[in-house]
Amino acid sequence: MDNRIEEIAAQIKSLEDELMEELRKKQDEFFYTLEDKKVKFQESVIKEGRSKIISSIKYLSSFPVLAIFTIPFIWSMMIPALLVDVFVSIFQIVCFPIYKIPKVKRSDYVVIDRYNLFYLDRVEKINCLYCEYFNGVIGYTREIAARTEQFWCPIKHSKPQIDMHSRYEKFFDFGDFDTYRKELNKRRSDFKDLEEETEVTQS
Protein backbone atom coordinates (compact mmCIF):
# COMPACT_ATOMS: atom_id res chain seq x y z
CA MET A 1 0.00 0.00 0.00
CA ASP A 2 2.81 2.42 0.93
CA ASN A 3 4.59 1.63 -2.35
CA ARG A 4 1.45 2.50 -4.31
CA ILE A 5 1.13 5.82 -2.47
CA GLU A 6 4.76 6.59 -3.24
CA GLU A 7 4.17 5.75 -6.92
CA ILE A 8 1.20 8.13 -7.08
CA ALA A 9 3.21 10.85 -5.33
CA ALA A 10 6.02 10.36 -7.85
CA GLN A 11 3.52 10.64 -10.72
CA ILE A 12 2.17 13.88 -9.27
CA LYS A 13 5.70 15.28 -9.02
CA SER A 14 6.37 14.24 -12.61
CA LEU A 15 3.20 15.98 -13.78
CA GLU A 16 4.17 19.12 -11.85
CA ASP A 17 7.54 19.13 -13.64
CA GLU A 18 5.77 18.66 -16.97
CA LEU A 19 3.46 21.57 -16.14
CA MET A 20 6.45 23.82 -15.37
CA GLU A 21 8.00 22.89 -18.71
CA GLU A 22 4.80 23.81 -20.54
CA LEU A 23 4.69 27.14 -18.68
CA ARG A 24 8.25 27.83 -19.81
CA LYS A 25 7.14 27.32 -23.41
CA LYS A 26 4.70 30.19 -22.92
CA GLN A 27 7.70 32.52 -22.86
CA ASP A 28 8.14 31.99 -26.59
CA GLU A 29 4.42 32.26 -27.28
CA PHE A 30 4.17 35.68 -25.64
CA PHE A 31 7.52 36.98 -26.93
CA TYR A 32 9.51 37.39 -23.73
CA THR A 33 12.76 36.07 -22.34
CA LEU A 34 14.28 35.85 -18.88
CA GLU A 35 17.64 37.60 -18.50
CA ASP A 36 19.23 37.72 -15.04
CA LYS A 37 15.81 36.86 -13.59
CA LYS A 38 14.28 39.87 -15.34
CA VAL A 39 11.56 39.58 -17.98
CA LYS A 40 12.24 41.25 -21.32
CA PHE A 41 9.51 41.63 -23.94
CA GLN A 42 10.00 42.48 -27.58
CA GLU A 43 9.64 46.22 -28.16
CA SER A 44 6.86 45.74 -30.72
CA VAL A 45 4.83 43.74 -28.19
CA ILE A 46 5.29 46.45 -25.54
CA LYS A 47 4.04 49.16 -27.92
CA GLU A 48 0.99 47.14 -28.90
CA GLY A 49 0.16 46.31 -25.28
CA ARG A 50 0.46 49.92 -24.13
CA SER A 51 -1.82 51.09 -26.93
CA LYS A 52 -4.63 48.98 -25.43
CA ILE A 53 -4.38 50.24 -21.83
CA ILE A 54 -7.67 51.58 -20.50
CA SER A 55 -7.87 54.42 -17.97
CA SER A 56 -8.11 53.64 -14.26
CA ILE A 57 -11.50 55.36 -14.07
CA LYS A 58 -12.86 53.27 -16.94
CA TYR A 59 -11.43 50.14 -15.31
CA LEU A 60 -13.03 50.88 -11.93
CA SER A 61 -16.34 51.88 -13.52
CA SER A 62 -16.61 48.38 -15.01
CA PHE A 63 -17.30 47.00 -11.48
CA PRO A 64 -20.54 47.26 -9.50
CA VAL A 65 -20.58 50.11 -6.97
CA LEU A 66 -20.75 47.67 -4.06
CA ALA A 67 -17.56 46.00 -5.29
CA ILE A 68 -15.74 49.36 -5.08
CA PHE A 69 -16.90 49.76 -1.47
CA THR A 70 -15.17 46.49 -0.54
CA ILE A 71 -11.72 47.93 -1.38
CA PRO A 72 -10.99 49.13 2.21
CA PHE A 73 -11.81 45.62 3.50
CA ILE A 74 -9.48 44.08 0.93
CA TRP A 75 -6.58 46.32 1.82
CA SER A 76 -7.12 45.95 5.57
CA MET A 77 -6.09 42.31 5.08
CA MET A 78 -2.60 43.50 4.16
CA ILE A 79 -1.93 44.19 7.86
CA PRO A 80 -2.26 40.53 9.01
CA ALA A 81 -0.42 39.41 5.85
CA LEU A 82 2.56 41.63 6.70
CA LEU A 83 2.53 40.44 10.31
CA VAL A 84 2.38 36.77 9.24
CA ASP A 85 5.23 37.34 6.79
CA VAL A 86 7.44 38.82 9.50
CA PHE A 87 6.57 36.33 12.23
CA VAL A 88 6.86 33.12 10.18
CA SER A 89 10.20 34.36 8.84
CA ILE A 90 11.45 34.91 12.38
CA PHE A 91 10.01 31.55 13.40
CA GLN A 92 11.93 29.57 10.81
CA ILE A 93 15.15 31.56 11.37
CA VAL A 94 15.03 30.71 15.09
CA CYS A 95 13.49 27.21 15.07
CA PHE A 96 14.44 25.41 11.86
CA PRO A 97 18.19 25.20 12.68
CA ILE A 98 17.23 23.62 16.02
CA TYR A 99 14.89 21.14 14.32
CA LYS A 100 17.45 20.59 11.51
CA ILE A 101 14.82 21.42 8.93
CA PRO A 102 15.88 23.06 5.64
CA LYS A 103 14.64 26.66 5.55
CA VAL A 104 11.95 27.70 3.09
CA LYS A 105 13.26 30.09 0.45
CA ARG A 106 10.86 33.02 0.60
CA SER A 107 11.61 34.16 -2.97
CA ASP A 108 10.30 30.82 -4.29
CA TYR A 109 6.83 31.78 -3.05
CA VAL A 110 6.63 35.56 -2.80
CA VAL A 111 7.18 36.50 -6.43
CA ILE A 112 6.64 40.18 -7.22
CA ASP A 113 6.61 40.71 -10.98
CA ARG A 114 3.13 41.19 -12.42
CA TYR A 115 2.76 44.80 -11.22
CA ASN A 116 5.40 45.75 -13.81
CA LEU A 117 3.44 44.47 -16.81
CA PHE A 118 3.30 47.14 -19.49
CA TYR A 119 -0.34 46.55 -20.51
CA LEU A 120 -1.85 47.28 -17.07
CA ASP A 121 -3.10 50.66 -15.82
CA ARG A 122 -2.14 51.99 -12.37
CA VAL A 123 -5.07 50.42 -10.51
CA GLU A 124 -4.53 47.03 -12.16
CA LYS A 125 -0.84 47.18 -11.23
CA ILE A 126 -1.68 47.93 -7.60
CA ASN A 127 -4.20 45.08 -7.57
CA CYS A 128 -1.60 42.70 -8.97
CA LEU A 129 0.99 43.81 -6.42
CA TYR A 130 -1.49 43.11 -3.62
CA CYS A 131 -2.54 39.68 -4.92
CA GLU A 132 0.93 38.37 -5.76
CA TYR A 133 2.23 39.43 -2.35
CA PHE A 134 -0.75 38.14 -0.35
CA ASN A 135 -0.96 34.77 -2.08
CA GLY A 136 2.82 34.43 -2.04
CA VAL A 137 2.88 34.91 1.74
CA ILE A 138 0.15 32.28 2.13
CA GLY A 139 2.15 29.76 0.07
CA TYR A 140 5.36 30.63 1.95
CA THR A 141 3.61 30.25 5.31
CA ARG A 142 2.00 26.97 4.30
CA GLU A 143 5.35 25.44 3.38
CA ILE A 144 6.89 26.51 6.70
CA ALA A 145 3.88 25.06 8.51
CA ALA A 146 4.10 21.83 6.48
CA ARG A 147 7.75 21.25 7.40
CA THR A 148 6.99 22.08 11.03
CA GLU A 149 4.09 19.64 11.04
CA GLN A 150 6.33 16.91 9.66
CA PHE A 151 8.68 17.41 12.60
CA TRP A 152 6.08 17.60 15.38
CA CYS A 153 3.03 15.59 14.27
CA PRO A 154 3.43 13.76 10.94
CA ILE A 155 0.10 11.92 10.99
CA LYS A 156 -2.41 11.94 8.16
CA HIS A 157 -6.05 12.83 8.77
CA SER A 158 -8.82 10.23 8.86
CA LYS A 159 -10.60 11.96 5.96
CA PRO A 160 -9.12 12.83 2.55
CA GLN A 161 -8.14 16.48 2.12
CA ILE A 162 -9.00 18.47 -0.98
CA ASP A 163 -5.53 20.00 -1.18
CA MET A 164 -2.61 18.32 0.59
CA HIS A 165 0.56 20.26 1.36
CA SER A 166 3.97 19.27 0.02
CA ARG A 167 5.05 17.14 3.02
CA TYR A 168 1.83 15.17 3.50
CA GLU A 169 3.04 12.05 1.69
CA LYS A 170 5.72 11.68 4.38
CA PHE A 171 3.15 11.38 7.15
CA PHE A 172 2.00 8.21 8.94
CA ASP A 173 -1.39 6.73 8.19
CA PHE A 174 -4.14 7.64 10.62
CA GLY A 175 -4.30 4.94 13.33
CA ASP A 176 -0.99 3.24 12.45
CA PHE A 177 0.42 3.47 15.98
CA ASP A 178 2.96 0.69 15.48
CA THR A 179 4.79 2.34 12.56
CA TYR A 180 4.43 5.72 14.24
CA ARG A 181 6.33 4.58 17.34
CA LYS A 182 8.98 2.71 15.34
CA GLU A 183 9.76 5.35 12.73
CA LEU A 184 8.83 8.71 14.27
CA ASN A 185 12.38 9.98 14.75
CA LYS A 186 13.38 8.87 11.27
CA ARG A 187 10.30 10.33 9.58
CA ARG A 188 10.44 13.70 11.33
CA SER A 189 13.98 14.27 10.02
CA ASP A 190 13.35 12.95 6.50
CA PHE A 191 14.05 16.06 4.40
CA LYS A 192 16.50 14.46 1.97
CA ASP A 193 14.27 15.30 -0.99
CA LEU A 194 14.55 19.00 -0.17
CA GLU A 195 18.32 18.79 0.10
CA GLU A 196 18.48 17.00 -3.28
CA GLU A 197 16.32 19.69 -4.89
CA THR A 198 18.65 22.38 -3.51
CA GLU A 199 21.69 20.59 -4.93
CA VAL A 200 20.02 20.30 -8.37
CA THR A 201 19.08 23.99 -8.35
CA GLN A 202 22.60 25.07 -7.40
CA SER A 203 24.35 22.82 -9.95
Contact 141, 88 (CB under 8 A): yes
The predicted pLDDT at position 131 comes to: 94
Q: Indicate if the pLDDT at residue 149 is higher than 80.
A: yes
Average pLDDT over residues 76-99: 97
pLDDT bin (cut points 50, 70, 90) of residue 199 is low
pLDDT in tens, 54-75: 777 888 888 899 998 999 999 9
Dihedral sign (CA 11, 192, 163, 173): positive
pLDDT bin (cut points 50, 70, 90) of residue 115 is confident
Phi first, then psi: what are they for 107, rounded to 5°? -70, -15
The predicted pLDDT at position 17 comes to: 74
pLDDT in tens, 121-143: 888 889 999 999 999 999 999 99
Average predicted confidence (pLDDT) for the chain: 84
HSE, CB side, 13 Å, CA atoms: give it for residue 65.
0
The predicted pLDDT at position 27 comes to: 54
Cα 76 to Cα 72: distance, rounded to the nearest angstrom: 6
The predicted pLDDT at position 34 comes to: 61
> What are the start-end ranges of the H helices in the chain?
2-29, 43-51, 56-61, 65-69, 71-76, 78-99, 122-152, 177-188, 192-202
pLDDT in tens, 154-187: 999 999 888 889 999 899 999 999 999 999 999 9
pLDDT in tens, 33-52: 666 666 666 677 667 777 77
Contact 140, 88 (CB under 8 A): yes
Q: How many CB atoms lie within 10 A of CB 121?
A: 16
Q: What is the largest CA-CA distance in the chain?
A: 66
- pTM metric for this prediction: 0.77
Between residues 189 and 148, the one the model is more confident about: 148
Cα 161 to Cα 23: distance, rounded to the nearest angstrom: 27
pLDDT in tens, 4-34: 766 777 777 777 777 767 666 665 555 566 6
Which positions ≥6 away from 45 have C-beta within 8 Å?
Answer: 30, 31, 32
Between β-strands 32-35 and 38-41, what pairing exists: parallel, antiparallel or unpaired? antiparallel
